Amino acid sequence: MSDENMMKDLVSLCKRRGFVFPASDIYGGINGFWDYGPLGVELKNNLRDLWWKWMVLCPPLGPEGTEYAGAPVSMVGLDSSIIQNPKTWEASGHVAGFTDPMVDCRETKLRYRADHLVVYSYLDSTFLFAFNKETSLEDVEKKIHKFAKKRGSENIRQIFELGDFTKVIISDELKDRKYNYHSLDKIVAPDTLEPGTLTEPRQFNLMLDTYPGVIRDEAHKAYLRPETAQGIFLNFKNVLDSSRVKIPFGIAQIGKAFRNEVTPRNFIYRSREFEQMEMEWFCHPSEAKLWRDFWFVERQKFWTAIGLAGENLQMRDHDKDELSHYAKAGYGTADIEYRFPFTAPGFGELEGIAHRCDFDLTQHQKISGQKLEYFDQERNERYIPHVIEPAAGLTRGVLALLAEAYTLDPNRPSGVYLNFHPAVAPKKAAILPLTAKEDHVPAAQKLYMALREDFAVDLDIKQNIGKRYARQDEIGTPYCFTIDDQTNADGTVTARERNTMAQERVSMDRAGEYLREKIKPAKG
């Protein structure tokens, strides 16, 4: 099946079985918004809870070969407000950075003022190159040569300036010339070597705004947070003053974020309302590299342990010229990428691990006038900590789990099953009386009542057993316990494993223990 068809089938399964629905479905939906159905919310909560456990309740042991080895790293949680004082977004750069005609580079995630870009080309080339206005001709030439070399052609002739980015991509007079200036896919953005990564210029701010209170004017405008991270920086001092954390330590948060994405697309991959799982790790500047490398490995372990392993997961260090403003001065950003069906054979970002330097705390200190320095008693030194930020998408993670789990199997009635790792599966087990007969149902109800205290389990009595197995396969339930005549005789049930469909007898009393053993994610 093609990746495109697989994606269509997955979206349809998600709706049919209650994972994800278009938001406001009965009104025809609303672009970029999605609702999580009965199974989707379980799947999302499982991913959320596993992240929280790995990061906050049971954080990893410190890096080997350092003074931090052998003991869990220091981590606390937070749940900050979605709406903060609008000055937050001035300090973070979102107010200034998200206005005017903007273009985004999909590859590097960098944003540019479209009216600050100029476009160059060279003879005999089908590619155009966008640069910031200030870029020297020397740098323009260097980059174009690098690009040509990568593509195996050194044959650069005359480099010439075509004009403003916005004019070049809309200009009618250039329309019929040799180069297709209308086509954004020919343009190479300033910080990448790949053509076609720039979006259309747009005039509005990426932040969604609102007006708390009764007055609706500019002075009373507030924003729905575009990232959860800033709530953490705002509470840095509160956390320091109220808990016993010492640097290095982290503050973790999971929550909604909103972005007025110009082109929400690919199901829940890029939506306007989504959820993030972010952690800001505060450390001494001299240890930023140590911790960046540490979190890079730890985060990969997490995704692997819950089922995103193998070829579909990739780690990629950003090149120096791909970095965001806050990461430029630091050790850069590394992405954990997943091969989504719509990016295949390429990959899409699942999580970024950035070295944000002291950018955010310095900015908030400047704009708020509040001291955000840390006094390090051991070093007898006052400084603004550096920050390492593993920032993952919760809802994007749900999509990766769904895509990874989707498995075609012509040998079973459902034709497909979801191969979830048991730790993330919405239902851990289904309890199925073989028939709706008197002698099977009471035992099934008893087992269900015992297991539901500790596990998300389903009791399914109606329909023939084949149909019920098929349904459980399609929603990714890893185990089915079937109650039959033998149950009443010896107290055992059939445990059926989803992937292999293999069956074994398990004592009813041991069913909970059996499940507990099976659903544990492997610790890295």
Between the alpha carbon of residue 486 and those of residues 433, 439, 493, 498, 512, the distances in Å are: 12, 11, 8, 22, 19
Which run of H or E residues covers position 490? helix 485-490
Q: Which residues contact 157 (CB under 8 A, 6 or more apart)?
A: 122, 123, 124
Nearer to ligand GAP, 317 or 504 (CB): 317
| Contact between 125 and ligand GAP per CB under 6 A | no
Q: Which two tokens stand for residue 262?
A: 């110009």
| Contact between 391 and ligand GAP per CB under 6 A | yes
The piece of 54-62, 392-400, 456-464, 491-499 that touches ligand GAP (CB under 6 A) is 392-400
| Contact between 278 and ligand GAP per CB under 6 A | yes
Beta bridge partners of 35: 21
* Nearest Cα to Cα of residue 231 among 47, 99, 94, 52: 94
Nearer to ligand GAP, 49 or 115 (CB): 49
Cβ 268 to ligand GAP shortest distance, Å: 7
Distance between CA atoms of residues 140 and 132, nearest Å: 10
Strand 429-433 relative to strand 457-459, pairing: parallel
Cβ 60 to ligand GAP shortest distance, Å: 20
Q: Which two tokens stand for residue 338?
A: 């997943």
| Contact between 271 and ligand GAP per CB under 6 A | yes
Distance between CA atoms of residues 82 and 257, nearest Å: 7
Cβ 349 to ligand GAP shortest distance, Å: 5
| Contact between 393 and ligand GAP per CB under 6 A | yes
Size of the site for ligand GAP (CB under 6 A): 20
Distance between CA atoms of residues 4 and 403, nearest Å: 12
Q: Which two tokens stand for residue 192?
A: 């990448």
| Contact between 94 and ligand GAP per CB under 6 A | no
Q: Which two tokens stand for residue 135?
A: 């870029």
| Contact between 118 and ligand GAP per CB under 6 A | no
Selected from 274, 406, 448, 481, the binder of ligand GAP by CB under 6 A is 274
Selected from 63, 190, 248, 352, the binder of ligand GAP by CB under 6 A is 352
| Contact between 373 and ligand GAP per CB under 6 A | no
Nearer to ligand GAP, 130 or 391 (CB): 391
Nearer to ligand GAP, 131 or 267 (CB): 267
* Range 444-483, binding ligand GAP (CB under 6 A): none
Distance between CA atoms of residues 224 and 258, nearest Å: 6
| Contact between 207 and ligand GAP per CB under 6 A | no
Nearer to ligand GAP, 335 or 460 (CB): 335
CB 229 within 8 A of CB 326: no
| Contact between 42 and ligand GAP per CB under 6 A | no
CB 481 within 8 A of CB 511: yes
The piece of 184-192, 304-312, 393-401, 485-493 that touches ligand GAP (CB under 6 A) is 393-401
CB 312 within 8 A of CB 287: no
Distance between CA atoms of residues 172 and 154, nearest Å: 31
| Contact between 227 and ligand GAP per CB under 6 A | yes
| Contact between 259 and ligand GAP per CB under 6 A | yes
Selected from 42, 164, 322, 351, the binder of ligand GAP by CB under 6 A is 351
Interface pattern 296-335 for ligand GAP (x via CB under 6 A): ----------------------------------------
CB 512 within 8 A of CB 495: no
The region that residue 274 occupies, defined by phi over 0 for left and psi between -120 and 50 for alpha, beta otherwise, is: beta
The region that residue 91 occupies, defined by phi over 0 for left and psi between -120 and 50 for alpha, beta otherwise, is: alpha
Selected from 284, 396, 428, 468, the binder of ligand GAP by CB under 6 A is 396
Selected from 74, 199, 276, 487, the binder of ligand GAP by CB under 6 A is 276
Residues at the site binding ligand GAP, with contacts judged by CB under 6 A: 109, 227, 229, 259, 261, 270-271, 274, 276, 278, 349-352, 389, 391-393, 395-396
